[in-house]
């Protein structure tokens, strides 16, 4: 028996308003264990919707979503989510936010504080454990959100443009940090972004999504050796790859402009 | 060296002047003492104007007694215990009435804010009743519950519950959908998400709504006491009218104003304390 892929989606369709608006059409994809994949595509092509379906927060019209070969039924703690919007609970400190997740996912109360501390350490925020979200910068909030999502050990981490609201500098630091965590902790990550260089820097594979209806139109492997330093920007091969992803996305949007 | 200090000195003066000038310009910021000072001046100005009008005899004392007469009357009423009693009774009535209305409104809001079925079943009714003038219920309330305290609770309830329920619902609806999504990814049940994430998230806004509606409740308790009571601040004002004790009527209206202001400030301070976490420090 061959091992199951970590995540497998087949024949998935999704529409809104009583099937009047088709948003996702015949999605088929597989993600291997410990793989880092990105979903890229023009705004409105259904990236968030697909991620929400994988998270179990939305239902598809039909098709299968399997985690380790078993169909999902709604949301579950085998899949952690980092949202684009800040979702730290404002009345809890960074530490308490992580503890909240651990408590709700039934961790041993005696271990909760330690695990939370360890994960804040992981995202280099130990010093801010007792700060409230209002006292943290956007990048710090997303780091706590990552710590929180990782703390209860989901098999798959789903991230929907987690760095979309951050400035370029912070964004770069966050990408680096995420890379480090991913390499050290062996995670399966599905990362939504519309930033091509971000996708290329982080991913093993990139799924380029087409528009109207949303579908996976191309899968582009990124074979650059890891650890990546982020300095590969000058590498002509990498720039060619970025250009290729960008072209693939553009074809879709330019097609739309015609009508 | 001295040249540069002199220069920076004039620069500082210039910027000082600019700041002073901006006291009356839009959205300008100045320290709290300045703010308080301006507010006190405004009150004093009103008081002086009132004193002048009364002193010059422009209006007969029976229509507008002097501030001194009003204060003297209030002191007398305070000394013989009338004022304290009236305040206590009115505060008791507003506390109970407002508490009942608020608890019911929050429960209703959670129900209609979270469940479409209950929203469809309840909200249109609330909306409908909301447009009925509270004062129109006064005769009915007397018919049902005489001049008892229950009648006061009823008027306060009618005046606040329907507005509150809809405002609380709005507070709850404004909690970002991703907060709910976050809770569900942890495997929390709907009810748990509601009680542990949604309601706490809406709490600062719910508190603001409470604060606003408590202000209205003062109006409703006074109304109820004006028309059907034999005690309380509102009742004493009708007595004052009957016996042409204008000083007492005005004094009590001022007391009502002070009480409203005081409860509002207490609510504000409590809110600031409860929701400290919202402030960046
Ligand atoms: N609840 C909804 N009802 C109707 N249409 C929706 C809903 N959510 C998303 N859509 C539509 O589905 C499409 C895909 O949305 P989304 O997944 O957010 O795209 P992306 O994340 O790629 O920008 C958009 O055209 C959007 O308008
Ligand atoms: Mg999106």
Q: How far apart are CA B247 and CA A85, in angstroms?
A: 58
Q: Residues 52..81 of B with a Cβ closer than 8 Å to A: which?
A: none
Provide mean pLDDT across the span A173-185: 89
**pLDDT of A70-117, one tens digit each?**
999 999 999 999 999 999 999 999 999 999 999 999 889 999 999 999
With a 6 Å cutoff on the Cβ, whether A141 touches ligand 1 is no
- For an interface test with B, give the residue of A53, A77, A87 to mutate (most B CBs within 10 A): A87
Q: pTM higher than 0.80 for the full model?
A: yes
B188 vs A89, A91, A104: nearest CB? A104
Residues in contact with A164: Cβ distance below 8 Å, sequence separation at least 6, in sequence order: A84, A193, A194, A195
Residues A75, B201: C-beta atoms closer than 8 Å? no
- Locate the chain A residue with the closest alpha carbon to B184: A75
Q: How far apart are CA B268 and CA B255, in angstroms?
A: 20
CB atoms within 10 A of CB B240: 19
Q: How far apart are CA B12 and CA B23, in angstroms?
A: 17
Question: What are the Cα distances from residue B274, in Å, to A99, B230, B265?
Answer: 21, 38, 14
Domain A1-78+154-259 bears CATH identifier 3.40.50.300 = yes
Residues A135, B181: C-beta atoms closer than 8 Å? no
Q: What percent of chain A has pLDDT over 90?
A: 69
Q: How far is A84 from chain B (nearest CA, A)?
A: 9
pLDDT score recorded for residue A98: 97
Q: Average pLDDT, whole number, for chain A?
A: 90
B181 vs A81, A90, A134: nearest CB? A81
Q: Where are the domains of chain A?
A: 1-78+154-259, 87-153
What are the contacts of B236-244 at 24+ separation with CB within 8 A?
B236/B82, B236/B86, B244/B62
**0.95 surpassed by complex ipTM:** no
Q: Which backbone phi and psi does B69 adopt, to 5 degrees?
A: -60, -40
CB atoms within 10 A of CB A249: 22
For residue A24, the ligand closest to its alpha carbon is 1
Interval between CA B125 and ligand 2 midpoint (Å): 37
How is residue B136 written in tokens?
């129109």
Residues B200, A152: C-beta atoms closer than 8 Å? no
Residues A56, B184: C-beta atoms closer than 8 Å? yes
With a 6 Å cutoff on the Cβ, whether A211 touches ligand 1 is no
Provide mean pLDDT across the span A8-22: 90
pLDDT score recorded for residue A119: 94
Q: Span B73-275: which CATH code?
A: 1.10.3720.10
Q: Label the pairing between strands A70-71 and A62-67.
A: antiparallel
pLDDT score recorded for residue A93: 97
B185 vs A81, A85, A134: nearest CB? A81
B278 CB near a chain A CB, below 8 Å?
A: yes
Interval between CA A178 and ligand 2 midpoint (Å): 20
Residues B277, A90: C-beta atoms closer than 8 Å? yes
Give per-10-residue mean pLDDT for chain B (281 aa): 53 53 77 92 95 89 92 95 96 97 97 95 95 94 93 96 97 96 96 96 97 96 93 95 94 96 96 90 60
pLDDT score recorded for residue A191: 96
């Amino acid at each position: 028996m061959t091992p199951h892929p970590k995540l497998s989606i087949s024949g998935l369709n999704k529409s809104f308003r009583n099937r009047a608006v088709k948003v996702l059409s015949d999605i088929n994809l597989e993600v291997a264990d410990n793989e880092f994949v990105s979903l890229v595509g023009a705004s409105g092509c259904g990236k968030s919707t697909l991620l929400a379906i994988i998270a179990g927060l939305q239902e598809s019209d039909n098709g299968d979503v399997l985690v380790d070969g078993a169909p999902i039924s709604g949301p579950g703690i085998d899949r952690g989510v980092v949202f684009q919007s800040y979702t730290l609970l404002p009345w809890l400190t960074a530490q308490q936010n992580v503890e909240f997740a651990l408590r709700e996912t039934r961790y041993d109360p005696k271990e909760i504080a330690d695990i939370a501390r360890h994960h804040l350490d992981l995202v280099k925020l130990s010093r801010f454990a007792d700060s409230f979200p209002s006292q943290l910068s956007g990048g710090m909030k997303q780091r706590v959100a990552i710590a929180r999502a990782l703390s209860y050990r989901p098999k798959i981490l789903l991230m929907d443009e987690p760095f979309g609201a951050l400035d370029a500098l912070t964004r770069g630091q966050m990408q680096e940090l995420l890379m480090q965590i991913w390499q050290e902790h062996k995670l399966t990550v599905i990362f939504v972004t519309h930033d091509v260089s971000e996708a290329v820097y982080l991913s093993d594979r990139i799924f380029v999504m087409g528009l109207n209806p949303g579908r996976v139109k191309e899968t582009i492997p990124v074979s650059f050796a890891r650890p990546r330093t982020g300095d590969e920007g000058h590498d002509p091969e990498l720039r060619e790859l970025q250009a290729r992803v960008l072209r693939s996305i553009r074809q879709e949007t330019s097609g739309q402009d015609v009508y | 060296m001295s040249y540069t200090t002199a220069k920076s000195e004039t620069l500082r003066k210039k910027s000082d002047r600019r700041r002073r000038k901006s006291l009356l310009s839009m959205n300008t910021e100045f320290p709290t003492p300045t703010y308080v000072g301006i507010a006190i001046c405004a009150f004093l100005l009103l008081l002086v104007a009132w004193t002048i009008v009364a002193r010059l005899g422009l209006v007969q004392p029976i229509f507008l007694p002097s501030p001194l007469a009003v204060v003297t009357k209030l002191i007398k009423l305070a000394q013989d215990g009338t004022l304290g009693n009236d305040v206590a009774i009115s505060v008791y009535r507003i506390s109970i009435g407002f508490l009942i209305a608020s608890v019911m409104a929050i429960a209703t809001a959670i129900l209609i804010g979270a469940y479409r079925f209950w929203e469809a079943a309840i909200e249109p009714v609330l909306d409908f009743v909301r447009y009925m003038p509270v004062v129109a219920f006064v005769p009915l309330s007397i018919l049902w519950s005489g001049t008892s305290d229950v009648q006061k609770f009823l008027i306060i309830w009618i005046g606040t519950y329907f507005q509150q329920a809809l405002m609380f619902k709005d507070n709850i609806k404004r909690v970002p959908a991703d907060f709910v999504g976050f809770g569900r990814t942890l495997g929390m049940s709907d009810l748990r998400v509601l009680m542990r994430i949604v309601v706490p998230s809406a709490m600062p806004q719910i508190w603001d709504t409470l604060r606003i509606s408590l202000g209205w409740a003062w109006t409703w308790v006074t109304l109820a006491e004006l028309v059907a009571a034999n005690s309380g601040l509102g009742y004493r004002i009708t007595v004052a009218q009957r016996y042409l004790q204008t000083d007492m009527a005005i004094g009590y209206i001022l007391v009502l104003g002070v009480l409203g202001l005081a409860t509002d400030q207490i609510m504000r301070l409590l809110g600031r304390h409860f929701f400290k976490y919202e402030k960046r420090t």
